Amino acid sequence: MAQIRDGKFAPLRIKLLWTVVFFLCFIAGRNIPVPFLHNVVRANSAANTGLLKAANTASGGNFFAPSLFSLGLGPWMVAAILWRFLFIGRIARDRNIPEQTVKRARNGLMVVLAVFQANSLMSRYEIGSLSWGPFSDRLNAQIVIVVVLAAGAILVAWLANRNEDLGLGGITMFILYQIIFTATQNLESLSVTGHPHYMHVLVLAILACVCVVVVGVFAGKRELRLHVNKVSIDSGYTGMSYLPIKLNPAGASPIMYGLTLLVLPQYVAHAVRAVVPGTSSGVDRFVSTWGLTSTVGVTIYLVLLFGLTIFFGLFAVGPKETAERMQKGGEYFDHVPPGRATREYIRGKVVRLSALSGVFLVVFTGLPLYFIRSYPNLQYLLTAPGTLMIVVGLLWLLQEEIADTRIGTKYFFAFKTASTTVRSSTATE
DSSP string, 168-189: SSTTHHHHHHHHHHHHHHTGGG
Distances (CA, A) of 354 to 103, 191, 274, 316, 358: 29, 37, 40, 11, 6
* CB 72, CB 62: distance < 8 Å: yes
From first to last of its 429 residues, the chain has per-residue pLDDT tens of 333 444 455 688 888 899 999 999 999 998 999 998 887 777 665 555 667 777 777 777 777 788 899 888 888 888 887 777 655 545 555 566 677 777 788 888 899 989 988 888 887 788 888 888 788 888 888 899 999 999 999 999 999 989 988 888 888 888 888 888 877 766 665 555 556 677 777 788 888 888 888 887 777 778 888 888 877 554 554 556 888 988 888 888 899 888 888 888 888 888 787 777 778 788 888 888 888 888 998 999 999 999 999 999 998 898 988 999 998 888 889 888 988 999 999 999 999 999 999 999 999 999 988 888 888 777 878 888 988 888 888 888 888 888 877 775 555 444 454 444 434 444 444
- State the chain's maximal CA–CA distance in angstroms: 81
What's the order of all strands across the beta sheet hosting 241-246?
241-246, 223-230, 331-332
Burial of 142 (0-12, 13-18, 19+ CB in 10 A): buried
Q: What are the structural domain ranges in the chain?
A: 12-428
Dihedral of the alpha carbons of 89, 90, 96, 101, in degrees to the nearest 10: -10
Dist CA 266 CA 253 (whole Å): 21
Domain 12-428 has CATH 2.60.120.10: no
Q: What are the pLDDT digits (tens) for 356-377?
A: 999 999 999 999 888 888 887 7
